[in-house]
Every structure is written in C-alpha cells, then in structure tokens.
Structure 1
Amino acid sequence: MKTLGKALLIPAFCFMFMGCSNHEPVKKKEPESHITFSQEEQKFDIIYMYDEMQEYIDTVREQTGKSNETVFIEKVFEPFKKKSNMEGISLRYIFDPSSEVDKLAESVKDLDKNKDTTNRIIKEALLKSAKELPGNNKKVLVLPLNPEDTIVAEKMGGVGGFVLDDDVIVLQLSSAMEEDMLKYTVAHEYNHAIAGESNPGMMYTILGGVVLEGKADAFANIIFPKIDVPWQEPMTPEVKEKVVTEITELKDSSDPNRYAGLRNGIPSKDIPQWANYKIGYEIVQSYRKKHPEVSIGRWTSMHEAEIIAGSDFEKITAYEGASSND
C-alpha cells in the first residue's frame, strides 16, 4: 500500500467450454487477461500481466546474456507502461525485477490456475467500494509479487498494492495470498484513487501521506469491518505520543526517507513498524467519531489539516479553515 515516495474487479467467471467434435475432449477456455465491467456509469478494467511475467522468466532462463533488469524492462515493464497509459514512469519508481525465477515461475503458475477465484474476490471488493464511494473509471493491473518481497508475503497476507495515478491501481499477488487481505487491499487502494481525483496534493507531504493512509484504512474498515490487518493493532499511550511527536516534527517535509522511517519503524525512537498507518487510522477514526454527519466522500477528499483539526490530534497542526459537512 504505497502512496508517498512511489505512498490494497473482475466478474466472477465460470469456465466456458470450447466447441468440439464428438471425438475431441472437452477443453476449458483459459481465463481472459483483460476483463471489463461497469457499475452504473463507472467502468472497471482488470488487466492481468501473468503472461508477460512468464515471458520474463522464460527469457532469463534462456541465458541470453542480457541482465535481468534489461529483460524485465523489455518483457514486463514496457507492456505495463502501455497498458497503464503511464509512459513517463521509471522502473525504479515501482518495481524490482526478481532474480528468483524458479519461485516466480511457481507463483505465476498457481496464480494463473486460481485466476477466476481472484476475479471473484476483486470484483466483490470493487463493487462494494464503488457503491459506497463512486468515482471515475478505474484500471487495475495485476502482477505476481516478487518472491523476494518477504514483508508483503509474510506480514501482509501476500498482497501488495499501490495507486499509480487516480485511475490506475496496481496489485501484486503472492500465490499464497489471503483472500481477506486481497479484499481489504482493493478497498484501501480504491479509496486512495478516489482521494487522488479531488485532492492530489495530499500525497506531497509526510503529514498528507499519514492521513491519506488513515482515510484508506478507515474506508476499507467500513467496507469489510470484520477483516483485521496487522498495522491496526493499537499503540500504547507512550508509543502513540512518540509517533505524534515525530509526525509533528516532519509534517511539512516530503522526504521519502523520513516517511519510510514511519512505515518501517525507527527502533532508536521507539517508533513501531507501520506507524504511519497506525496513527493515520486513529486520526481519521477520531475525526469520524466527532463528525458523524460528514459523508465518506467529503472526508475522503478533505485536506489533511482539516481532518486533524477536527480530531483529538489537533495539536499536530493549526488549521483555521471553516469546517465542512454534508
């Protein structure tokens, strides 16, 4: 769930059978790699990039003499840029090519086999999210998770996600992904995308990133209230105070390394891992509790300073704009 410094849709589908003569075995049609569906006026495109990743694996195994990064750019990243309509992005902005091609190959195989289950889960999450918070058309690109990304694989249920633009969501999946984490991540990233439609400036400071994550987690919790995620484990009052002090000092900074410290943890300061998610969620939930009349759409698009000023964490910043509700 990346936002700063980059910061969790498809119809459930039954197998279709190909035409055959009486002498031919019945064959199942492979699930499509590009699927489109709509809810009212909002259109969703889901694009799987498993085939491109398999081409990367096959080419690396051929030992052509090209570096893994060169092959990845050619076989995966260039197609990704075209399909996402994000021609200007750089490789290091979002991806690290995997050198563990055997593990990646097994993952691609398993993910492809279970694609229709993935379709069902993502579609459910998107439809529920769009019903509560409609917006512009969205494109979702799905790739296998790099097996070297052990934090996502082991601590985040095998599901990674980020918003590349306000109309492009990227999901990275392990073959051992947890279904609940996939649902939750889709809702989380969908909220990021909707927030980006109306107020992209929220992503440009550390404080904006913290509140943005809080909004996305608050929204995902509304859509899937029974799903627990590890970064929402409450902090002790002492730890919370240290986190508040840290973000108060950093609030106007846009240094991605300082933001990464909040995400990864700073042991020397007793800042826990996922501090940005933890405190962001508490800030937004505090605001919602104090302002139940404010709609999901309104607080999703609201400036982070206004959210903080209307919460129990108002000391972090001094925002004097008029309060809004609808």
Structure 2
Amino acid sequence: MKSIYLLSATLLLASCSPAAEKPKTYDISFTHEKQEIQIVPLYKAYDDYIQAASKHPEDNEALFKKYVLGAKNSVIKKEQLQAMPVPSLYEQPSENIKDLKQMNTYLKKHHQRIMKQIKSSLLTSMKQLPRDEKLVVFVSPTTPIEHDDAKRYGGVSGVAQGNNSMSLFFLKDFSETSLRNTTAHEYHHTVALDEPNRATMLDYIILEGKAEFFAHKLYPVESSEAIAPLLDHTLEHVISELNAERLTTDDLFFGNYEKQIPSFVKYRLGYMIVSDFVKQHPEISLKEWSRISSVQILEKSSYQKKLTIR
C-alpha cells in the first residue's frame, strides 16, 4: 500500500507541476482593414542567450547568433519576411550581460503597457497611411553598447527590414513619446520601402526625411534633435560636401568632427527638404508623396538647384 500511495502522490505532483503548464507566449496579433499585424517580443531568445553567455562568456558572439538571431531568423523564414543582410547596430553581442538581463526583465514586467502603446501607434499610422502587406514587429532590449545612441532617442530605437517587418529596441525607463514616434517612423519606412529603392545617398536622406515628417505629423514634439534645422552656414557646408561626394552614410548619421559635419544630418536635412516639398505641394497626398521617388521630392522642392546629387 505504501508504494501505491507514493506513486499516486508522484502522479498528482507531476500533473500540478509548472512544467505541465502551457509555455507563456508574449506574441500578439491583430488585424486592421484585413491587414494582419503581429508583434513578436524576443524576450525568451534574450533570456536563453543571457543564461548561456553567463556560463560561457568566451562564446558570447556565437551564442548571440545562435539564440537571438536564430530565433528572429526562424520567424523571418516562417513568415517569409525580408531579411537584413547584416544585423543592425542594436543586434550585437553584449559585454554587459547583467545590464542586458535587467533590461529584458524590465521589458517583461512592462509587457502589457509596451504592447498597448505599440498597437496604438501602429493603428494611428495605418489609418493615415494604409498598407498592402502584413507586418511583423520585433521587440528587443537594446544592446548596452548602444546606450548613448538610444538615450538620444528617448530610449527607443528602430530599424525597418523592408516592407513587411520592423524592429524596436528598448532601454529601461524609455519615454512613451519616443515609443510612439519611433513606431510611426519605422512604420513609414515599411510602406515607403514597398517601392524599389535605388539606395543612393539622396534616397538615404529623403527616406529618413519622409519618416520623420510622418512621425512628427502624427506625434508633434516641441523639440527633437532629429528635426532641428541646420544653421545656414552648416547647411551650406553640408550641401557642398554632399555635392562633392565627400560624405559617407556614417558621416550623415554619427557626424564627423574632422569634416565639420554634425550628427543626424540625414534626418535633419531630409526633414527640411520633405517639409519644404509638402508645403509647396499641398495637393499631393500623404499616400502619394510617401511612395514617390527621392529625385521627384528634391526636384519639386526649393533645394533642387542647391543639391546636385541624384
């Protein structure tokens, strides 16, 4: 009788064990105008990476590729999404696993609030600019090495991977304004990138200008480093360097002290050109100018003769 009792107790405990429960999923899906939207937090992938890298720090890079990029690529393959040729600045192995763990824990704790805000911004964006493709939004903590850059954006940064997916990267204590604005900005990219992109320097500038104009149209802010107009002498110098083809894409993003180029030029100049274009052509709808070429935008603006790159 004793052995039978022990067996029964073991079976009872097994049936109540947490291991028998259905694994928790953070993914959410919804539809708008028949378009499917899926938000995929990569919390578990980061937890797996953090746990493995804590035990084997010498394999940090390989473990990040295995757990984080591997999990993301599985979704990309399953959903037949466009993939970036290389990981973004925000998808790199962390040298501070403890800090990354704190951020990932923070995101899980505030998961419902984050999902609600992302969904709200996406719906607002979709009402203004409908899309033709499904959309998958990945959510991740920001790799600590990129803290300073992310802080300048209010704790939320983003990357669009084509016309059907985008990624949002978070720091702890991110601002809600940054989340709304960044979500709208990257959403615009997924629509603008629906058209063939020549990927010229001009495309690089105008694409960001379009997204910044769209995001700040939906969520105006009193001040933003990304839309602060360039001073006249700085603008003249930047245009001169662009026309002479002496600037790189990194110069336009990070700035270049030696070349006297401030940071975020691609956003600031792009925003100035697109704002001028929209002001001069109110008859062209948001949906239309979001998809017309960068050359058309430039040539219908006041900058057409000043900026000679095409």
> What TM-score bracket applies, with the shorter chain setting the length?
0.7 to 0.9
Partner deviation per Cα, 1:160-195 (whole Å, 9 max, x = no partner): 101112101011111221110010001000111100
> Contact 2:163/2:191 (CA < 8 Å) preserved in 1?
yes
Match of 1:62 among 55, 58, 65: 55
Pairwise mapping of residues 142-221 of structure 1 onto structure 2 (< 5 A)?
142-201=139-198, 204-221=199-216
Alignment correspondent of 1:324 = none
Alignment correspondent of 1:71 = 63
Matched residues in 1 for 2:86 and 2:302: separation?
A: 40
Change (3 A) 1:38 1:92: closer
Change (3 A) 1:46 1:132: same
Q: What's the CA shift for 1:262?
A: 1.2
Aligned-residue RMSD, C-alpha: 2.2
Alignment correspondent of 1:314 = 304
Q: What's the CA shift for 1:93?
A: 5.2
1:117 aligns with 2:113: yes
Alignment correspondent of 1:34 = 27
Matched residues in 2 for 1:212 and 1:57: separation?
A: 35
Farther off after superposition, 168-177 or 144-153:
144-153
Equivalent position SS for 2:302: coil
Equivalent position SS for 2:168: strand
Pairwise mapping of residues 74-153 of structure 1 onto structure 2 (< 5 A)?
74-85=66-77, 89=84, 92=87, 95-135=91-131, 136-153=133-150
Alignment correspondent of 1:249 = 244
Matched residues in 1 for 2:141 and 2:265: separation?
A: 27
Identity %: 28
TM-score (norm 2): 0.86
Letter in 1 for 2:201: I
**Runs of 4+ in structure 1 over 3 Å off:** 29-32, 86-94
Equivalent position SS for 1:198: coil
Q: What's the CA shift for 1:76?
A: 1.0
Equivalent position SS for 2:38: strand
Equivalent position SS for 1:214: helix
Q: What's the CA shift for 1:199?
A: 3.2
> Gaps spanning 5+ residues in structure 1: where?
1-28, 320-326
Letter in 2 for 1:57: I
> Gaps spanning 5+ residues in structure 2: where?
1-21
Farther off after superposition, 222-231 or 66-75:
222-231
Q: What's the CA shift for 1:99?
A: 1.7
> Contact 2:156/2:170 (CA < 8 Å) preserved in 1?
yes
Change (3 A) 1:31 1:300: farther
Matched residues in 2 for 1:195 and 1:87: separation?
A: 14
**Larger Cα Rg: Structure 1 or Structure 2?**
2
Partner deviation per Cα, 1:66-111 (whole Å, 9 max, x = no partner): 5101111111111111112358655555521112000001111111
Tell me how many residue pairs correspond in the alignment.
283
Matched residues in 1 for 2:84 and 2:195: separation?
A: 22
Equivalent position SS for 2:258: helix
Letter in 2 for 1:248: N
Letter in 1 for 2:275: Q
